[in-house]
Amino acid sequence: MVVAILGGCAGAEAESPALIDGSAGREAPVELEGVDAVTVLTAARVTDADAIEAGSPAETCLRGPFAGSNASGAIVTRVGVNTESVTFRESDRSLLGCDNSLGSREGNRRWCGSAYGMLYGGRLRDPRLSISCVTPEETLIGSAWVQPSSRAHYVVVHEPGFAEVYPVTGDLPVRVATAGGAKREGSRASFELSEHDAAGKLLRRYRLDAFVAG
Amino acid sequence: MTGVRTFLAWFVVAFCLATAGTAGAYHTQFVSQNCNWASPTPTSYITRDGSMTVALRARYEGYQWGGGCWNDNNNDDSPGDPPATGGTGGEGGDCSGFTFKVWRESLNENDAGFYQWGMLRFEHGPYLAQNFKGGAGAPNVIAPKSGLYQMDALASMGHVGMIYARNADGTDLIIEAKGEAYGTNIWTRTYRGDSSYGGVRRTGWSS
């Protein structure tokens, strides 16, 4: 029995979880220092605010929660294991974002969550946590912006069983999500994070405790 | 030269002392010493007068970004909290947390029921100001500004306040958690005439 179990373990290789659009999850392109769990790379797409396609996530975000807003510069769309998000600036004063998941939401809206943050000197003072989205199993999801250090090429969220890897792109804060660290009580979420350079070297590892606020 | 060195040394000491209070480790003891996690009491109804009474208990209390716990001693017991910093343990709600508790809302956004939260229960609730503006959550709906009543709210992307009374000149008395420097109080505001603000109503008022 022991031999059988050991044999099973030795031959098993964990696969990256799939993304919420059904596509196969891919591992991070580099080995990330200090990350032992299986990695899954979120898909990040950068478009320009002047070239928004009809029906795209960016267009539906601008048409939905932020109707009347004008995006400027880069718009980053991310597809991850539990969430899809859109992040963009409106002028240089505010940051806007939409969050989506596969779980239920009010009135079958396209986006289950949204966030708005004022920029001070180009930076947020608060990660603008949203806890409006859930997984299909009704697990609460917390979504927040991370402002990585200038050398960071990847932001990693350490989730139970896997590490979700977010490429830093578009010169915008990175909208990250956790399905393991969000709590309704206290309206808060904790993110276990690490930042890595282009070669995967660990730059810092930290915990972000975020609160729904403002 | 010695004078310059002495000046620089004192300058460095003075600078360090002046900035020590703004360090990231700032934390007051108000929440840890006064607040609780008591469950809310479900109620079968909500009235505008009753909610006004609930709101007035927070008047003259503090403001806390991401907060949701206050007493009723008409004093900000944790003045000078760092702005826009959650989790510092200070007294008061912020604008959306204050509205959430006064409107007796649920932590579950799909639940439009009524939940009476204690003043000292530390809870912000799931809504940001922009969520209120968009009518997010089962209890909340967008409402025309011209038809707003007492204890309906006016919300922008970054702020929300409830109507305490309407002034004859078209402005409103708004009860709101305004900011760390202001606390929670009633002020005359022109939100109704401000295009960045929209009307929002908590559904289900009995009277």
Confidence of residue B142 (pLDDT cuts 50, 70, 90): very high
Percent of chain B having pLDDT more than 70? 88
Model pLDDT, residue A203: 98
| Sequence spans of domains, chain A | 15-211
Shortest CA gap A154–chain B (Å): 25
A210 contacts B126? CB cut-off 8 A: no
Range scoring the smallest mean pLDDT among A34-38, A83-87, B83-87, B191-195: B83-87
Residue A132, min C-alpha distance to chain B (Å): 7
* Cβ pair A186:B123 closer than 8 A: yes
B86 burial class (0-12, 13-18, 19+ CB within 10 angstroms)?
buried
Residue in A with minimal Cα distance to B131? A114
Instruction: Please report which helix (H) or strand (E) contains residue A190, including its range.
Output: strand A188-196
B30 CA to centre of own chain:
16
Which of B65, B124, B134 is closest, CB to CB, to A187? B124
**What would the pLDDT profile of A152-193 be if each residue is shown by its tens digit?**
999 999 999 999 999 999 999 999 999 989 999 999 999 999
Among the ranges given (A96-105, A169-178, B23-32, B179-188), the one the predictor scored with the smallest mean pLDDT: B23-32
pLDDT band at B10 (very low <50, low <70, confident <90, very high): low
Residue A53 has pLDDT above 80, yes or no: yes
pLDDT interval class at B158 (50, 70, 90)? very high
Give this complex's ipTM. 0.80
Interval A77-121: pLDDT, tens: 999 999 999 999 998 889 999 999 999 988 888 999 999 999 998
pLDDT for residue B3 is more than 60: no
Q: B132 to chain A: which residues are within 8 Å by CB?
A: none
Put simply, the answer to whether B131 touches A132 (Cβ < 8 Å) is yes
Per-residue model confidence as pLDDT tens digits over B45-61: 999 999 999 999 999 99
Amino acid B124 reads H
- In chain A, the residue whose alpha carbon lies closest to the alpha carbon of B133 is A65
CA angle A180, B128, A67 (to 5 degrees): 110
pLDDT in tens, B101-124: 999 999 999 999 999 999 999 999
Q: B109, A118: Cβ pair inside 8 Å?
A: no
With helix as H, strand as E and coil as C, how does chain B read? CHHHHHHHHHHHHHHHHHHHCCCCCCCCCHHHHHCECCCCEEECCECHHHHHHHHHHCCCCCECCCCEECCCCCCCCCCCCCCCCCCCCCCEECHHHHHHHHCCCCCCCCCCCEEECCCCECCCCCCCHHHHHCCCCCCEEEECHHHCCCCCEEECCCCEEEEEEECCCCCEEEEEEEECCCEEEEEEECHHHCCCCEEEEECCECC
Residues of A in contact with B126 (CB under 8 A): 131-132, 184, 187, 212
Q: What is the average per-residue pLDDT within A27-43?
A: 97
Give the tens place of pLDDT for each residue, A3-17: 333 333 343 467 899
Task: Report the predicted TM-score, pTM, of the whole model to 2 decimal places.
Answer: 0.85
Largest CA distance in chain A: 65
* pLDDT more than 70, % of chain A: 94
Domains and CATH numbers, chain B: 27-202 (3.90.1720.10)
- Out of A94, A126, A132, closest to residue B86 by CB: A126
Which residues of chain B are within 8 Å of residue A211 when distances are taken between CB atoms? 65-66, 86-87, 124
